[in-house]
Chains A and B, each alone.
Chain A
């Protein structure tokens, strides 16, 4: 099984690095680290990533809008929202726009990988 291309979107450098470090390298190949929605869209097109972890509150373009545009651009993109639980409404909105799962911060390495493998279940590589 070849690995899937993973794009990490978060405005916090620490979280980006954490996801990059934690993602199981046998399944995922981190192809991009974006710090806002605008950058994320550009990277999605250049890297053709199939899996995305998405923060919700970011400068330039927030996660909800970014999810909406990504799904328009590439409907089969599997997006996992990774955000704090402070705003359930926004999380639900992101899912309504086309994200497929929600992982709440703070998360452990195990929780991240469980969520990612659940997210890509049934995806042909």
Chain B
């Protein structure tokens, strides 16, 4: 309080004090001079009385003179003379030296000695005249007989007649002088009052002008500051607001806050009202607890930032059309102190959606880059010409799938059929990718297969269920285009990729496939091939033989060859054997043999699986021959493996082989012996497809 009085408001306090002092001084002077004037009035009064007394004395002398001897009148005149002489004497003394005198009302008054020249002159002259006069009067008053009285009276009367007028004049002069003094004092008092009041008024005017100016100026400053604050809050890009202890939003907040939260009039809202529908209840509760911590003095605000639950938060905000927008906001909280106390929390809200989006994009593109690098590595390992023909085939297959998806079909059964055809096509794509070690294509087509499986497992298939498949197809198509562009780029680096495909088809990828499938299934297997290299790369059969080989190897390892330990128990080498043999009979017919030394086809297992599939009853299957049961492995969607893995269990491998062979008007023969192995022979009609040895 004192600080403000003597600091900020020092000037106004001094001015007001001055004003009061001025007023008080004028009042004091006024009081003092008025008092003096009152004293002067008494002086004037008594000086006037002196005039009258001088005349009364002369009159008393005459009265004594005319009164009868020893009469009452004479005595009254004598008393009168004594009284007037005494009054005149004391009053003159008081005027001369200052002192007591008898007032007009008979009261005692204190007189100051006169001090102006004319008054002094009048008093001293009067004293000279009065002294002998007074002595003569004393003579009259002290006479003890008529004779003495006569004598004293005649000399007093003689003196009185001679000097009375002078004395009267002197007393008159004194009266006039004293009146003059009083008048000048009154004038002075008026002057002092006029000056004092003028000064007070001037002071007041100064206060008014100066301080009203200052007030106006400070009002202007306040207004300017308010405007600046408003401007800042209207233009700043972050949401800014203060939260008080009750978690209520301040009256001033940045304009952008309204557009961020798509609502107006946020002042006075609670944090809960602002964030209620925007973040999850859990996050809101945590945020409220966090803010409560910030209001606690003993908690170090610099050491709790990590616990801010709204540092990076997903918000769902309904826009004006009622659509929900998902954004990411970042809230930061800062304490605001006032007089060493935590008063508010300053909250800053940043829209970091763009940053998050970029981060996500970066992550995606990083993953893509890694994948591309992987694909690139794969491609570099693959045989250029085979890759080329694979991509060509793949494009055809994907077109085919696309056509199937486009075909209009309504009934659930026709939709199911569509799914099967797509599955067969994609499975072939997968098998070939696997054979060529093209992991990316393999995994994409595997995903595709899984999606198809999911749809197939539904009780009631509808057209909409195909949507995810369209997405998967799109992925494959994109990837295919991407790899094609990569190979084109690579071709610019090396001449080898651009040259015509090699004359002889390279079957080495089948060894890789064998290794891969074996390691995936935890088995050991080696591939033995013969006659395949005789097949020209341009042979129309080459593609089919390759498909047969890929499916055959996978089936042999997955379904035929046992795990190492199991083989050792039945006295077999731990290393299983898969054999591919291509023969040409005299008639030109091709025979392609896929042989393994595994456990052969387990007919009972097929029977159990067939019962499980629910397509046939137990009674039906009871009467089936082993051959009939074996032929089930060519049924679409039939598999003895329970789960759908990369290499088997999808139940289309042999189905696919059968389809392709049928398309070529070929035949398939299966021979299997329990514990010894399986031999699948595929016979294809004669085409002049074998390269004649030069």
Contact = CB atoms under 8 A, between A and B. Distances in A.
Interface string B275-313: 000000000001001101100001110111011010000
Contacts of B299: 95, 100-101
Contacts of B302: 101, 118
Contacts of B304: 95, 101-102
Nearest to B306: A104
A80 interface: yes
A89 B286 contact: yes
Given A118-B300, A118-B302, A119-B300, A102 B307 contact: yes
B193 to A, nearest CB: 64
A66 to B, nearest CB: 18
A89 to B, nearest CB: 6
A95 B293 contact: yes
A30 to B, nearest CB: 20
A96 B289 CA distance: 8
The B contact surface, by secondary structure, is helix
Contacts of A80: 303
Contacts of A102: 303-304, 306-307
A100 B289 contact: no
Contacts of A85: 306
Interface residues of B, number: 14
A15 B140 CA distance: 133
B284 to A, nearest CB: 13
A101 B289 contact: no
Interface string B303-336: 1101101000000000000000000000000000
A17 B293 CA distance: 30
A121 to B, nearest CB: 7
A103 interface: yes
A119 B301 CA distance: 10
A103 B289 contact: no
B300 A101 contact: yes
Contacts of B300: 100-101, 118-119, 121
Interface string A102-121: 11100000000001001101
Contacts of B309: 88
A102 B306 CA distance: 7
Interface size on A, as a range, is 10 to 19
A100 B303 CA distance: 8
A91 B290 CA distance: 10
Contacts of A96: 289, 292-293
B303 A92 contact: no
A96 B285 CA distance: 14
A92 B290 CA distance: 7
B281 to A, nearest CB: 13
Contacts of A118: 300, 302-303
Of A80, A91, A95, A96, the most chain B CB neighbours within 10 A belong to A95
Contacts of B290: 92
B271 to A, nearest CB: 16
Contacts of A92: 286, 289-290, 293, 307
Contacts of B298: 100
B311 to A, nearest CB: 10
B680 to A, nearest CB: 55
Interface in B126-169: none
A118 B289 CA distance: 22
A115 B303 contact: yes
A80 B293 CA distance: 14
Nearest to B298: A100
Of B292, B298, B302, the most chain A CB neighbours within 10 A belong to B298
Interface of B: 286, 289-290, 292-293, 298-300, 302-304, 306-307, 309
9 contacts: A80-B303, A88-B307, A91-B307, A95-B304, A100-B298, A100-B303, A101-B303, A102-B303, A119-B300
Interface of A: 80, 85, 88-89, 91-92, 95-96, 100-104, 115, 118-119, 121
Given A85-B306, A119-B300, 8 more contacts: A88-B307, A95-B307, A96-B289, A96-B292, A96-B293, A100-B300, A115-B303, A118-B303
- Nearest 7 Cβ contacts at the A-B interface: A101-B303, A101-B300, A104-B306, A91-B307, A92-B289, A95-B293, A118-B300
